[in-house]
Structure 1
Amino acid sequence: MVDYLTGRYVPIVAFQLILLISDLLINIVSIILRSYNALILVFSVIQILCIILAFSTIFIQFFSTYVYQVGLIELLHERFRHTIIICLIYFIATLGINVWSLLLRYNETYKGNWPIEFIVFYIVHRLFAPVYYYEFKRCFLRISDPRFYEDSR
């Protein structure tokens, strides 16, 4: 696999992997437990917090690299721009789908009558989730590369 995942990188990668798996599990559980409004609210808040934490840890890793400390921010931006954009889109889509579904639930219009716009947005969100998972995993494995943390001289 990846031979540079040793030492100080393992806890960070493990934490990010836990956040990613928790997001995936919340997406799955929210389908199964859709009749329990209070649980869906709690899971929605936890999911949003996990995404924010995951995004924050990526930026903390960016800020701790030698490349960033030297001032080569453009290099990091160039290599991880797509991941940042995909993470932001997924965060906004997840926030939107959670708020919209909770509004439908608490307005009592969620008894099997889903608006077509909600169904389309829900399907697009669920189809976009694997893209987010792939990009996020790729990003935290790439940023764990020791070459970002040492002088190349």
Structure 2
Amino acid sequence: MLVSRYRPILYLQYLLLFLDLFLNSFSNLMRFENVVLLVLYVIQDVCIIFAVIVVFLVFFNTYIFQAGLVSILINKFKWTIIVTFIYFVLCVGLHVWEMTMRWAVDDPTAYIWNDGFRAIFALQKIVSVLYYYFYKRTALRLGDPRFYEESEWVRQEFEKRR
């Protein structure tokens, strides 16, 4: 892909990643009002969905995908797909659980942390680091011109698949 065409896509991916990182880090500081926290959580989940959509749109623009070698892309980026799915499920689960507990107590400053919630909170934060790493790596790797033109590497992969 041309650098001039890929650069805005890469900036968009970085923006979505930064928004997710910012909301993941600082959303708990906005717990003074449940509705504000709910809106921030919805924005974070939508950013993750948009990030996945952007990656798949870039997949669809590759020569490998257009040549019908989708399995090569899936194999090369399977960990990104898996980690992103796990991270999204953990985020939604954490957000739903926290908002359910907050609305049950109806006091934004109340301490609502139980053992299960602490475990999923910690797991979500650990998986978020993996998500940031794999997503950024995928965004940078998809800028490689090998994915957008016919080359010896693609022909070798095609021969392996036959």
- Structure-2-length-normalised TM-score: 0.88
Give the ranges of 4+ consecutive aligned residues of structure 1 lying more than 2 Å apart after TM superposition: none
Q: Unaligned 5+ residue runs, structure 1?
A: none
Q: Unaligned 5+ residue runs, structure 2?
A: 153-162
Larger helix percent: 2
Q: How many residues align?
A: 150
**CA separation in 1, counterparts of 2:41 and 2:29?**
14
Offset of residue 109 of structure 1 = 7.1
**CA separation in 2, counterparts of 1:70 and 1:135?**
25
Report SS of the residue matched to 1:114: coil
Post-superposition Cα deviations, 1:64-110, rounded to whole Å, max 9, x if no partner, equal 10000001111101100010000000000001001111101101177
1:141 partner amino acid: L
Offset of residue 32 of structure 1 = 1.3
Report SS of the residue matched to 1:7: helix
16, 19, 27: which one aligns with 2:16 = 19
Report SS of the residue matched to 1:104: helix
The match for 1:28 is 25
The match for 1:147 is 146
Offset of residue 31 of structure 1 = 2.0
3, 25, 28: which one aligns with 1:6 = 3
- Structure-1-length-normalised TM-score: 0.93
CA-based RMSD? 1.6
Q: Is the 8 A contact 2:84 2:131 kept in 1?
A: yes
The match for 1:134 is 133
Offset of residue 135 of structure 1 = 0.3
Show the 5 A alignment for 1:46-61.
46-61=43-58
**CA separation in 2, counterparts of 1:36 and 1:141?**
38
Give the fraction of aligned pairs with identical amino acids, expressed as a percent.
39
Larger Rg: 2
82, 89, 93: which one aligns with 2:90 = 93
